[in-house]
A and B are shown apart, each in its own frame.
Chain A
C-alpha cells in the first residue's frame, strides 16, 4: 500500500527548474534515504508533499487523497525542516505542547525523556538555543510526534558525532516501537547507510533511482590496476567514472562482477553507498 504518491510534480523557481516531472511513491512503514546533491530538489519535494510549498504542476496523494489544502491528509505528515517554523520565542516544551495539539499521538513523556538524554533544557526558548541544540529540539519533536509520515530534512546538521550517533539509535528504537514512514534526507550518506531500507536519489530535479539500499550497493564496483589493463577490461562496460594516478587507474563500472571475469593484475572492490552515489550524480 503506498502512503505517498508523487505524480508528475514540477516546480520552477524563477528560472530554475527545481523539480521536473517527478513521480514516485513512498510506502508504509519503511525508512527511506532521500539522497541528492546540494540543490538537487530534495527539500523542494519534501516541502511540496508537506504543504510548505506548492507544485506548479502534478499532484501529491496521501493515502489516495490529494494532499493540497487537505488537513486530514497533511495532518498525517510531520516535517522536520532545516528552517524553524515554530515561533522562536516559544520554549522547547511549548513547541512540544503546540505539536501535541496537532498530532494526537504526540508522546510528551518520550519527548521529555529524550531531552534528558540530550541534555536539552525544555524550559529554554528556541531562539536562545545554539544551532545544534535547536536541531536537536526539532528532531526530538519529530521523533515524538507520532505521525504516520515523518520527514527529516538534514536532521543531524550541526550535531556533534556523539549526538549524531544518539539520534540514529533513537530513530531506530522509535521506528521499532512505532513503525511509520520515515524519509531521511541527508548528505552524510555512509552514516545513514545502515538505517535506510530504500534509497531515493534525486539528480538535478529528476528522479534518478528508487531502489532497495542493498540493490544500490550492488549497482557498481571498482577495478584498479595498470591503466591499459583497466581500459581493456572496461572497454565494453558502462563506466561511471575513473581516477588516474600516474600509471594506476581505477575505473568505476556499472553492474556487477563475476569473480571469474577479473583478469590477472587487476583488483576489484565493491563500492559503498556513498561512492556509488557520488559517481552516479557526478555530472
Chain B
C-alpha cells in the first residue's frame, strides 16, 4: 500500500503496513525498520501519526526500540502477527465472503467447491 488515506485512522493503516511487510519478509526479524522520520517524509504523513502507529506495534511486542539506533523487528513477530490475523480472518474475510455469497445466492457447497479450487490453483502456482 503506497498511500495512506481515506477512512481508517492513518496510524492504524501504518501499523498494518509495517505488519504486512514483516509478514512478507520485507522487514525480517531482528532487522531495522525505517525510522518514523523517513516513513513520514516518504508517505507525506505527520510524524506524530507515524509514531502512534509504531507505538501500537511496540506495545504489541512486534517492534522494539534499540536506544540510539532505531526500531527493530522483534523475534517471533512474524508468528505473532500471523496468529493475530488468523483470529481476525474469520471476522474480516469469512463473514464478508458468506454475506456476499448469500447476496449472489451461492450455496454453501458451491462456496466449499470454489475454495477447494482456489487452494488447488494456489498450490499449483
**Given the complex of chains A and B, what is the CA–CA distance between A37 and B9 in angstroms?**
24
Do the beta carbons of A272 and B41 come within 8 Å of each other? no
Counting CB contacts under 8 A, is B67 at the interface? no
Do the beta carbons of A172 and B46 come within 8 Å of each other? yes
Do the beta carbons of B9 and A271 come within 8 Å of each other? no
Distance between B110 CB and nearest chain A CB, rounded to angstroms? 21
**Given the complex of chains A and B, what is the CA–CA distance between A190 and B40 in angstroms?**
16
**Given the complex of chains A and B, what is the CA–CA distance between A269 and B41 in angstroms?**
29
Contact residues, A200-219 vs B (CB, 8 A): 213-214, 217-218
**Given the complex of chains A and B, what is the CA–CA distance between A172 and B50 in angstroms?**
12
Distance between B69 CB and nearest chain A CB, rounded to angstroms? 18
Known contacts A176-B37, A214-B9; A194/B44 CB under 8 A: yes
Do the beta carbons of A31 and B46 come within 8 Å of each other? yes
| Chain A residues bordering chain B, tally (CB within 8 A) | 23
Residue of A nearest to B46 (CB): A197
Contact residues, B1-44 vs A (CB, 8 A): 4-11, 37, 40-44
Counting CB contacts under 8 A, is A270 at the interface? yes
**C-beta contact mask, B40-65 vs A, less than 8 Å → 1, else 0?**
11111111110000000000000000
**Given the complex of chains A and B, what is the CA–CA distance between A206 and B28 in angstroms?**
51
Known contacts A214-B9, A214-B10, A269-B7; A194/B43 CB under 8 A: yes
Known contacts A194-B46, A197-B49, A214-B10; A176/B40 CB under 8 A: yes
Contact among B6, B7, B41, B48 for A197, CB-based, below 8 A: B48
Do the beta carbons of B47 and A190 come within 8 Å of each other? no
Known contacts A172-B46, A214-B10; A193/B41 CB under 8 A: no
Counting CB contacts under 8 A, is A169 at the interface? yes
Counting CB contacts under 8 A, is A103 at the interface? no
Contact among B7, B8, B10 for A194, CB-based, below 8 A: B10
In order of increasing CB-CB distance, the 7 nearest A-B pairs are A270-B7, A194-B45, A168-B44, A214-B9, A176-B37, A173-B41, A172-B41
